[in-house]
Structure 1
């Protein structure tokens, strides 16, 4: 029998762990997630809103916001404005540009754009549109913005000068139109504002550095848009700017001749835009003496702005034609004189542009008017028929009855040569109309009849001459002419070179020459001593009488 021993074992009881090691994995993941969320929250930039006219090309979570071609934000949502006047875009910006979101910061949509001033945004054809941002450090921090309708012409911070141009004329400019100087593009128009009360268009423009140093207090701007064909009294002139201004509008600037440059403009200033260079150059003349003319002939072809010349030099211009005046009569009356107002610039007659020069011009014109100065309308261009006012001295001019009219100094007028010729032609036609044409026609018919009878008589005489010629024996006459011609030929042959007659004549001439040579000594002796043929050569000298001596 086997002894069985009962062994009693006691189990060790340990308390269970409160936290399992398995939970460390999700805890670590939770901490990493929280840290990432904190980092994302700490590093994310602010939310901003941008108002646009349309959301064309904008996509949520895709359309970026770029500054200097660097992504600095992304569109998060697009909503309609409460007044349905556009859309509001909510965008998340990077923290790095949070301090650059100020009141001077500008946004605009970049998309393909083609205009007369250029082509832009072609890189978005493949990548899609994006919102461009022009950051600015100046100003207060803000989160709501209104985007520009188009990209700004001049980005903020560009070195140069901002100016304002204005024009009351009908030509208009648009954003991006160039400002030209001697063929170079030196600036552009930025934006346009039309003042309804003043009825003047104001243009904000920008001149790039270093060309902004050319803008001084005496600078003038004028229009050079397209091609200008001027049909004036001086002829036809064609003006054009650069190739860019042929397709778009544009202006240029400069300092009129005779003007000092003046002080440089360093801050925004206002300038007028003149229609042409001539009008801009004439602006340097501030004062002018005004005179009135009374024209008793047609003024067709005379326009406001037409030149006033003296001895071919322009000294003024026409200010008004047929202006409202209390003159008696109406334009429908035959003897009504049309009033024309002109001016003369002291600066154009080599006088100072001040009150002293103005008084000199008025005094000089009054003095000449009392003598022989008269105003005449002349045709400056036959093609266009444009007229100008020519001041000239007229011989035997009638005396002037008045010195002033309608408050202006008066200059009497005189007809030009063309009008005088027309008057003479009219007088000649009037005399022709007074000629008795019936009597003249009868006299002419009688002369024609006499001339016809004379012609018949001449024809009869011609027939008689032809009959006498036909009666002549032409054949016999020809034979006689042939005989005479043969005899003449024979005579010429007898005296031709090598004939006997020719040799005989030559022998006779030689003998005659020999005889003359033989007689030459005799002729010489006779010339020296004419009496040698009578007394001979041996005679002594002629006896000389002597005086008888008194002693003999």
Structure 2
């Protein structure tokens, strides 16, 4: 029976079942997808921000030129809780844009000096803008800017640095103007606590960068600048934008050459005003000390030093080292004033930068002190404000010059100013008035007043008498009587007028009288020749006999 049974034979299968093809293929596809996803992943960057306003993990995009180049993966606080750390995944081809010059900032609605920007993000949400740099140094950790940069790093133009003292209030985005036209912007500002100075970074866009040279001066533009000093009133009005927010303006001072084009990252000084920028050109000077016996009220720092109306220097300090010992022989209460004589003010063009020999200038002034009587005087430059300036001129009656120094500085000789002279004359006049014998004058004046009083009383009595005469009725009737007499006289004269009977009678009488006078003439002649003719007869004389002819 066992032989009749047949054993089953075990056969081995040499090929796989077709059922395994599907999972194997799925595994291969999955591995390829994992490899493709890993190989297509871009670099991971870390962004530091003050706050994460508008930033959401998985939603906020990173763009450049409105093209998506990455997205935010996570948002968290820093370990010290001082800022926000944002981790973002960039696209595979974005690695070449990440270097030390790359800049990031958040694009969102903003209202600034240039208007409203970022309105497109009101509906779509904020995003992070990337500005690629051109540096060769790779970097994956960045600080996000608070404000969009003024210009990209590769923008054509000029970048310069300004250094100023504390007090110039500038901020990123403020305009840089030239003759009122905006040619650039302030990129950044920071304060150096060690040197106690402000540092500003400016960008001047092309083609206006050619306006900046090595002789250019920069000063703050406050919009409107009003100055009232010894030189009068000056008003300077800049653009409307600088009137609101301020800014920087620049130019080449008058009588200064244009100079050579400025270099990238050159450093300049930022002055407070155009006037101080112009004054900064005169960097060569000779210092003197004025020992003023008069009042210095109205004399301030920056006041001009003039020679016959031409400015040749500047007042530096009022007073200067007041407690220092003064030279012997002078008023111990004289007020020291430090001035600078700036010979560059008398030069122009290229000569303004010529090196000045200080010793030669001092020798020239010493000669004018000794031989010509050059002296300094305080004079009023503005009657409204009472501002003073230092006037240099020659004085004929100046005392002899004696060289001296004050705290190591040579002394510029001075004379009293016009106000001091007037004060001295008034003082002398008052002294003379005090020396006058006033009591005899007052006594004589009192007697004169008493005599005048009596005279006035007599005049008053005469006036009362005249008034009584005028008030008398007889006096009042006198004009009528005089009038009647005049009328009678007129009537009498009318009776002797031509053609009247009285006139004819008078005329006949006069004729008779004339005839009588003619008749009496022989009698008068006879009486004249022989007064006794009325008593004795007149002798008859014989007729004269004519002479015979010879």
Q: 2:214 aligns with which of 217, 231, 252?
A: 217
The answer for unaligned runs of 5 or more in structure 1 is 1-16, 492-552
CA distance in 2: counterparts of 1:206 and 1:484, whole angstroms: 113
- TM-score w.r.t. the length of structure 2 is 0.75
Name whichever of 411-420 and 98-107 sits farther off.
98-107
Q: Decide whether the 8 Å contact of 2:318 with 2:338 is kept in 1.
A: yes
Distance 2:408 2:292 in 1: 17
Task: State the distance in 1 between where 2:133 and 2:199 align.
Answer: 26
Does the residue aligned with 1:97 lie in a helix, a strand or coil?
A: helix
Q: Distance in 2 between matches of 1:113 and 1:432?
A: 78
**Conserved 8 A contact 1:295-1:337:** yes
Which residue is 2:173 aligned to?
Answer: 176
TM-superposed CA distance for 1:144, in Å, is 3.3
Distance 2:418 2:455 in 1: 47
RMSD of aligned alpha carbons: 3.5
Please state how far the C-alpha of 1:121 moved relative to its aligned partner. 3.0
Of 249, 266, 273 in structure 2, the residue corresponding to residue 269 of structure 1 is 266
Aligned to 1:477: 479
Q: Is the aligned partner of 1:249 residue 2:246? A: yes
Alpha-carbon separation, structure 2, partners of 1:486 and 1:94: 144
Whole-angstrom CA distance in 2 between matches of 1:190 and 1:346: 38
Q: Distance in 2 between matches of 1:343 and 1:271?
A: 24
Counterpart of 1:65? 62
State the secondary structure of the residue aligned to 1:207: strand
Residues 488-533 of structure 1: CA distance to partner in whole angstroms, max 9, x if unpaired?
A: 9xx9xxxxxxxxxxxxxxxxxxxxxxxxxxxxxxxxxxxxxxxxxx
Q: Distance in 1 between matches of 2:342 and 2:140?
A: 60
Superposition TM-score, scaled by structure 1 size? 0.75
Indicate if the aligned counterparts of 1:224 and 1:276 stay in contact, CA closer than 8 A. yes
Contact 2:322 2:335 in 1 (8 A): no
Between the aligned partners of 1:193 and 1:178, the Cα distance in structure 2 is 17
- Can you list the C-alpha shifts for 1:98-141, whole angstroms capped at 9, x where unaligned? 32223322211223333456544343333322211112353344
Counterpart contact for 2:166–2:196, Cα < 8 Å: no
Instruction: Say whether the 8 Å CA contact 2:326–2:406 is kept in structure 1.
Output: no
Q: Report if the CA contact (8 A) 1:346-1:358 is conserved.
A: no
Deviations 1:204-262 (A, max 9, x none): 11111111111111111122224333232112323332211112222211112222212
- 1:410 corresponds to which residue? 411
1:288 counterpart residue number:
285
CA contact (8 A) 2:163 2:199 kept: yes
Which residue matches 1:77? 74
Q: Tell me the residue number matched to 1:400.
A: 401
> Any unmatched runs of 5+ in structure 2?
1-15, 494-550
Change (3 A) 1:355 1:37: closer
2:365 maps to what in 1? 365
* Offset at residue 327 of structure 1 (A): 5.3
**Residue 454 of structure 2 aligns to a residue in which SS?**
helix
- Which residue in the other structure is 1:155 paired with? 152
Q: Report if the CA contact (8 A) 1:285-1:345 is conserved.
A: yes
**SS of the counterpart of 2:183?**
strand
1:484: how far off?
Answer: 7.2
SS in 1 for 2:233: strand
- Counterpart mapping for 1:239-388 below 5 A: 239-324=236-321, 328=325, 335-350=332-347, 354=354, 358-370=358-370, 371-388=372-389
Task: Output the CA distance in 1 between the equivalents of 2:180 and 2:262.
Answer: 22
Give 1:19 deviation, angstroms.
5.1
Aligned residues of 1:315 and 1:344 also touching (Cα < 8 A): yes
Give the whole-Å Cα distance in 1 for the aligned partners of 2:133 and 2:489: 127
Report how far residue 395 of structure 1 moved: 2.4
Residues 189-209 of structure 1: CA distance to partner in whole angstroms, max 9, x if unpaired? 111232222222211111111
Equivalences for residues 40-119 of structure 1 within 5 A: 43-115=40-112, 119=116
| Alpha-carbon contact 1:346-1:357 (below 8 Å) kept | no
Secondary structure, aligned partner of 1:380: strand
Of stretches 396-405 and 67-76 in structure 1, the one that deviates more from structure 2 is 396-405
What's the offset of the Cα at 1:397?
A: 2.0
- 1:355 positional shift: 5.4
Q: 1:428, CA displacement in angstroms?
A: 2.3
Cα distance in 2 for residues equivalent to 1:242 and 1:483 = 98
Q: 1:412 to 1:99 in 2, by over 3 A?
A: closer
Deviates more, 1:192-201 or 1:250-259: 192-201
Distance across 2 between alignment mates of 1:336 and 1:225? 41
